[in-house]
Amino acid sequence: MADAAPPSKSRDLDKLLLRPGNLVGPTFDPGVQLRDDLQEYARVLVVGAGGLGCELLKDLALSGFKNLEVIDMDRIEVTNLNRQFLFRLEDVGKPKAEVAAKRVMERVSGVIIVPHFCRIEDKDIEFYNDFNIIALGLDSIEARSYINAVACSFLEYDSDDNPREETMKPMVDGGTEGFKGHARVIVPGVTPCFECTIWLFPPQVKFPLCTLAETPRNAAHCIEYAHLIKWDEVHSGQAFDPDNPDHMKWVYDEAVKRAELFGIPGVTYSLTQGVVKNIIPAIASTNAIISAACTLETLKIASGCSKTLSNYLTAMISTVKTALCRYNGVEGLHTKVTEFVKDKDCLVCGPGVLIELDTTVTLKK
């Protein structure tokens, strides 16, 4: 079979696809047809053009995907440049999605990347339905919840409460913070969705008001006191702007005063910015690893399917019992792969609970 195929630029990918291998599922049928499908028909959306997004676009393009789109509402800042390698100092201020798309197209021939400089909520639901796979490079739980809800909304169940394969919209989700990161695959109806497993995320830090107001114990408490309580007391009406250096300096000075009052060390300007803006510490190498892991999963999904999702579904079940892969670069190294079970009662991806309601009943009751 390999002899008959015309040589392609990506010889190593040819080797993967033109012979049966273990990287794809049992129904996978290797051949030139499929390789062309991969490159010409697979449409992948990358959500986010930041630390993960830049790496994802590069990896997907180099791996042979020809039709990519990227969506990001942010503009480039100086602090992005330590890891978002597609951006230069002179790009500061420009939309991330547009610069990222342009740079990758310059470096990888044949790929088309359409940028969208807007919020994910600004797009019609149907926009997302256009893609075969959605790859997420997001930095918040809220954004992930949103995309998850959108992707799961396409899922339909048949009369036996079985998910209909052709309505499944797979997502590959990556997340990083400092040395740590995760890469996971979500296939609505098959694997747990994001909401099924939301308990996996560490509790988000939110200090009780009484701690801030009465009994601070650490530097972050002092900072948040100045930010959330003292600011309004003094500047009633004027909104706090985290991008205004004078506002930030004011919060810092107030935090220092409070810290001195309670004998708490550790308030610095850098920490103040970090706490107020909820800055996520980030480095290039972790993003590179997690994005690559996501790309591998995206390749597995795409190469296991022809034009419908049904062929790769069986591939999904065997290759992606590994629903979650975690990376920790600081204590030696762990790449742990864990199996999770879908929550059949999940409100977002489950078939739903049948409620029989008397139409005379109102909400008040």
Partner 1 sequence: MNGEELTEQETALYDRQIRVWGADAQRRLSKSHILVYGMKGTVAEFCKNIVLAGVGSVTLVDDREVTDEALSANFLILPDENLYHGKTLAEVCCDSLKEFNPMVHVSVEKGDISTFGVEFFGKFDAVVISCCSLAKKKLINQKCRKLSKRVAFYTVDCRGSCGEIFVDLKDYKYSKKKLEETVECQLEFPSFEDTISVPWKALPKRVSKLYFAMRVIEQFEDAEGRNPGETSIADLPGVLKLRKELCETNSVNESQIPDALLERLLIGASEYPPVCAIIGGILGQEVIKAISGKGDPLKNFFFFDAMDGKGLIEDISEPKPVS
User: Cβ 138 to partner 1, closest distance in Å?
Assistant: 16
Task: Count other C-beta atoms under 10 Å from residue 61's C-beta.
Answer: 22
Question: Residues touching partner 1: how many (CB under 8 A)?
Answer: 57
Say if CB 144 and CB 152 are below 8 A apart: no
Question: Helix count (H) and strand count (E) of the chain?
Answer: 13, 8
Question: With binding defined as CB under 8 A, does residue 293 bind partner 1?
Answer: yes
User: Cβ 347 to partner 1, closest distance in Å?
Assistant: 30
**Of the candidates 171, 154, 140, 160, the residue with the CA atom closest to the CA atom of residue 297:** 171
Specify the residue, 54 or 348, whose C-beta has the smaller distance to partner 1.
54
Stretch that binds partner 1, among 128-136, 234-242, 331-339, 355-363 (CB under 8 A): 331-339
Question: With binding defined as CB under 8 A, does residue 289 bind partner 1?
Answer: yes
Say if CB 117 and CB 73 are below 8 A apart: yes
309 token code pair: 């999702």
Binding test (CB under 8 A) with partner 1, winner from 178, 208, 245, 352: 178
Specify the residue, 114 or 330, whose C-beta has the smaller distance to partner 1.
330
Question: With binding defined as CB under 8 A, does residue 295 bind partner 1?
Answer: yes
Binding test (CB under 8 A) with partner 1, winner from 13, 76, 100, 138: 13
Task: Count other C-beta atoms under 10 Å from residue 64's C-beta.
Answer: 24
Question: With binding defined as CB under 8 A, does residue 286 bind partner 1?
Answer: yes
* Alpha carbon distance 185, 172 (integer Å): 5
Question: With binding defined as CB under 8 A, does residue 325 bind partner 1?
Answer: yes
* Alpha carbon distance 26, 19 (integer Å): 13
How distant, in Å, are the alpha carbons of 45, 207, 226, 251, 257 from that of 234?
46, 21, 10, 11, 15
* Alpha carbon distance 254, 249 (integer Å): 9
DSSP 157: B
340 token code pair: 């999770």
Binding test (CB under 8 A) with partner 1, winner from 1, 20, 29, 82: 82
User: Cβ 338 to partner 1, closest distance in Å?
Assistant: 12
Stretch that binds partner 1, among 39-47, 55-63, 160-168, 205-213 (CB under 8 A): 55-63
Which one of 118, 193, 210, 349 is the catalytic residue?
A: 210
User: Cβ 100 to partner 1, closest distance in Å?
Assistant: 13
Helix 310-319 × helix 284-303 angle, to 10°: 130
User: Cβ 84 to partner 1, closest distance in Å?
Assistant: 9
Question: With binding defined as CB under 8 A, does residue 59 bind partner 1?
Answer: yes
Q: Look up 210 and say whether it is catalytic.
A: yes
C-alpha atoms less than 13 angstroms from C-alpha of 140 in its C-beta half-sphere: 9
Task: Count other C-beta atoms under 10 Å from residue 111's C-beta.
Answer: 19
* Alpha carbon distance 187, 152 (integer Å): 9
Question: With binding defined as CB under 8 A, does residue 299 bind partner 1?
Answer: yes
Stretch that binds partner 1, among 73-81, 194-202, 221-229, 257-265 (CB under 8 A): 73-81
Say if CB 24 and CB 35 are below 8 A apart: no
User: Cβ 222 to partner 1, closest distance in Å?
Assistant: 19
Q: Among all residues, which ones are annotated catalytic? A: 210
List residues binding partner 1 (CB under 8 A). 9-13, 15-16, 22-23, 55, 58-59, 62-63, 78-79, 81-83, 85, 88-89, 106-109, 178-179, 270, 274, 279-289, 291-293, 295-296, 299, 322, 325, 327, 329-333, 335, 337
